[in-house]
Amino acid sequence: MIKSLDDRITLNNGTKIPGLGLGVYQIPDEATAKVVADGIKAGYRLIDTAQIYGNEAGTGEGIRQGLAATGLKREDIFVTSKLWNNHLTYDQAIAGFESSLNKLGLDYLDLYLIHWPGNHAVKDAYRALQDLYHAGKIKAIGVSNFEVHHLEALAEFATVVPVLNQVESHPRLNQNSLREYAKDKGIKIQAWSPLMQGQILNDPTLKAIADKHHKSVAQIILRWDIQREVLLAVKSVRPERLASNAAIFDFALDTDDMTKINAMNRDFRVGPNPDDFDF
């Protein structure tokens, strides 16, 4: 279990990833550089973007600004991007990766993910990711929004086990069965939308636990994820929220707290269902 923003978790290929990072979903490209630079200055070492976000250029500029302001080196920052659904042939996947790398202005990516499984349409794209990984252009490869059956299908042809599966996860969708399957295969789970896009911040159960610990509901949810060994990519655009989201290492949830939050699961999604998502 991580104990600071700088703490890292070892993935199945030996690569180490920060347990809590900054996501930039839905941040306009022109605003992203400041957010990312602020995040790095606030101690964040994982930056998560994607081809479809349209802000890889701003993300790269923010990384450069953050490094300049802190004196850190490129290898101190872990950068993730993702391949979108219209780049799933082998050649398209290679081109998509090169485009992302160029927009970010980087020499390599720490992690590259296939964004959605589609109708099990990712075989050629994953083969491209494997080749990029073996060529040293990506430190680790993985997937996003894969259900158990998608991971099972991937395992039938993949020669590189994905290090990570980034999925929607929050107290109303705790993904326990997927987490158990992934753990057995050595695949880490990373949560997107861990705060349920803000829709759960007024929940009375969570508010009672927050009052008990003198913390915010958001801090309680993020701490819950940390204690159940779920990696996090959390979006925030305000410096004060960046700091607040990171202030989760000075307290612990007890067994009763964890049991109450675990019981909130309803298998409810705020994002698309991977089995129904229309390519």
List, in order, residues 6 or more apart from 180 with CB less than 8 Å away: none
> What's the whole-model pTM score?
0.97
Q: How many beta carbons lie within 10 A of that of residue 82, not counting itself?
A: 23
Q: Please report which helix (H) or strand (E) contains residue 166, including its range.
A: strand 164-168
Give me the residue spans of the domains in the chain.
Answer: 8-262
pLDDT in tens, 42-75: 999 999 999 999 999 999 999 999 999 999 999 9
pLDDT in tens, 90-141: 999 999 999 999 999 999 999 999 999 988 889 999 999 999 999 999 999 9
Annotated catalytic residue 53: yes
Query: What is the pLDDT confidence band of residue 279, given thresholds at 50, 70 and 90?
Result: low
The dihedrals phi and psi of 110, each to the nearest 5 degrees, come to: -75, -35
Catalytic residue among 25, 44, 53, 90: 53
| Whether CATH 3.30.70.1400 fits 8-262 | no
Quote the DSSP letter at residue 110.
S
H runs (alpha helix) in the chain: 29-41, 56-70, 90-104, 123-134, 148-155, 176-185, 204-213, 217-227, 239-246, 255-262
Whether residue 175 is predicted with pLDDT greater than 70 in this model: the reply is yes
Three-state secondary structure readout of 65-103: HHHHHHCCCHHHCEEEEEECCCCCCHHHHHHHHHHHHHH
3-state secondary structure of 167: strand
Tokens of 207: 């508010």
Q: Are 91 and 127 in contact (CB under 8 A)?
A: no
- Would you give the distance in Å from CA 272 to the centre of its chain? 16
